[in-house]
Amino acid sequence: MTKTFEDLIKEVHEKGICQECGGCTSFCSSAEYHVIGFKDPYSPPLYINKDACLECGICYLLCPQTHALDEELRKKYHFSDFTTMPIGPFQEIYSCQATDRAFLDKGTDGGVVNSLINFLIERKQIDGAIVSKMDTAFSREATFADSKHDLLQASGTKLEIASHLDEIQKFSTYTHSIPKLNHYKFKKLAVVGTPCQIYTIKCMQELGVTPSENIEICLGLFCYENFFFDKSQLQKFENDYNIKLADIEKINIKEDVIFKLKSEEGREKIIHIPFNHLDKYMRAACHACNDFTNIYADLSFGGLGSPDKYTTVLVRTEKGKKIFKEAIDAGIIRCADLSEEKKKKMIELITHFSISKNKRKIEFMKNLT
């Protein structure tokens, strides 16, 4: 029997493992009738107009927590499993930075992701990209960027998940809700996302669900975990670490979480917080997630393994390889000269975090009823 949103509620929401990625709401076959939606951004989606549900099962199939299409995706992307291939298939590893000073200065690490998107827009290989606009240090707002100005506004890392998939749905042919998209026919899009978001997109592409055919390239971010702060937790966080949210200028995530604060009397203040100290702020659903390096992305990006102001890049697919090479050849991205020994060390470090994330999921799932 086809599993529907009713089953998602039982198997995902009621177990507390909904990642609030927005996949089910964005690509619901009956989306124009608002069958399902978010009441607020911090709890799983609900039935809003159940009578209009077609019981087609698309939402169930593309949810990253049901793993319904795992076998198909693994086959397609030549990925065996997390035990034998902890960081998934990749062709090459780099440590790079943007050559454009604006992207480098504003970027989370080396500013590589946004400068690459800008390059693709300028070459008209894409119309734009779904990125995440900085609001405050922990806030989230998915947005469409089609210019250098938009991209610079969306540089840097925001913790808490951004419901990018909802944003993609706005670009589908039948729900143009972003005014500027009504003025031209939207064809090719890049999407930046965490592993749970990219996984859902790959499921949609596997199922041929509109508008996933418009997604030209998936730029995946590494993600060990994400955080959820309500008002009282924010207060506690500020007190525990003697940090004022307003003073956070940048967040980097490498072997721990690094907060760069507004400089006091000309001195830059940097605070490192280990992941395990942040456990109480971790989103519950992240315990049930085992993909650290964004296995199904065309290119994966992280801070881990690279020095300050550099981004670690895993080149995975042929499409990713071609785009990345073109950007290097055009002088958009500068790569550090890595010895084989250094690459090996980077891969070991990334593998270590991937194994640790997979173990965390196994332990968590054991205790899940």
Ligand X SMILES: Cc1cc2nc3c(=O)[nH]c(=O)nc-3n(C[C@H](O)[C@H](O)[C@H](O)COP(=O)(O)OP(=O)(O)OC[C@H]3O[C@@H](n4cnc5c(N)ncnc54)[C@H](O)[C@@H]3O)c2cc1C
Residues that bind ligand SF4 (CB under 6 A): 4-5, 8, 12, 18-24, 28-30, 35-36, 44-45, 53-59, 63-65, 161, 194-196, 223, 225-226, 283, 285-286, 289
Closest CA to 200 of 176, 233, 155, 164: 164
Question: Restricting to residues 5-44, which ones interact with ligand X according to CB under 6 A?
Answer: none
Task: Please choose, out of 80-88, 222-230, 319-327, 333-341, the segment that lies near ligand X by the rule CB under 6 A.
Answer: 222-230
* Least distance to ligand X, CB of residue 214, Å: 18
Q: Which of 45, 64, 111, 195 binds ligand X (CB under 6 A)?
A: 111
Q: 304 touches which of ligand SF4, ligand X, none (CB within 5 to 8 A by kind)?
A: ligand X
Task: Please choose, out of 46-54, 85-93, 264-272, 297-305, the segment that lies near ligand X by the rule CB under 6 A.
Answer: 297-305
Which residue number, 216 or 225, has a Cβ lying nearer to ligand SF4? 225
DSSP percent split of the chain into helix, strand, coil, nearest 5: 40, 20, 40
Q: 63 touches which of ligand SF4, ligand X, none (CB within 5 to 8 A by kind)?
A: ligand SF4
Q: What is the spatial distance between Cα 225 and Cα 283, in angstroms, rounded to a whole number?
A: 7
285 alpha carbon, distance to own chain's centre: 14
Which residue number, 64 or 193, has a Cβ lying nearer to ligand X? 193
Q: 5 touches which of ligand SF4, ligand X, none (CB within 5 to 8 A by kind)?
A: ligand SF4
* b/e code 346-357 from CB counts within 10 Å (16+ = b): bbeebeebbbeb
Q: Which of 8, 59, 126, 159 binds ligand X (CB under 6 A)?
A: 159
253 lines the binding site for ligand X (CB under 6 A): yes
With a CB cutoff of 8 Å and minimum separation 6, the contacts of 97 are 104, 109, 110, 111, 112, 309, 310, 311, 333, 334
Closest CA to 154 of 103, 207, 199, 208: 103
Helix spans in the chain (H) = 5-8, 23-26, 58-62, 70-76, 101-106, 112-122, 148-153, 164-170, 195-207, 231-241, 318-329, 340-366
Q: 90 touches which of ligand SF4, ligand X, none (CB within 5 to 8 A by kind)?
A: none
114 lines the binding site for ligand X (CB under 6 A): yes
* b/e code 228-248 from CB counts within 10 Å (16+ = b): bbeeeeeeebeeeeebeeeeb
Q: 196 touches which of ligand X, ligand SF4, none (CB within 5 to 8 A by kind)?
A: ligand SF4
The residue type at 102: A
Which residue number, 21 or 154, has a Cβ lying nearer to ligand SF4? 21
Q: 4 touches which of ligand X, ligand SF4, none (CB within 5 to 8 A by kind)?
A: ligand SF4
β-pair type (299-302, 215-221) = parallel
* Least distance to ligand SF4, CB of residue 16, Å: 11
Cα separation values, 196 from 65, 246, 248, Å: 9, 29, 26
Q: 222 touches which of ligand SF4, ligand X, none (CB within 5 to 8 A by kind)?
A: ligand X
Q: Which of 27, 119, 138, 222 binds ligand X (CB under 6 A)?
A: 222
* Residue with the shortest CB distance to ligand X: 302
* Beta sheet of 267-273, edge-to-edge order: 248-253, 257-264, 267-273
Q: What is the spatial distance between Cα 59 and Cα 24, in angstroms, rounded to a whole number?
A: 4
| Contact in structure between 71 and 215 (CB atoms under 8 Å) | no
* Least distance to ligand X, CB of residue 242, Å: 23
Question: Restricting to residues 163-192, which ones interact with ligand X according to CB under 6 A?
Answer: 164, 192
Binding interface with ligand X (CB under 6 A): 103, 107-114, 131-132, 140, 154-159, 161-162, 164, 192-194, 221-224, 226, 253-254, 301-304, 311
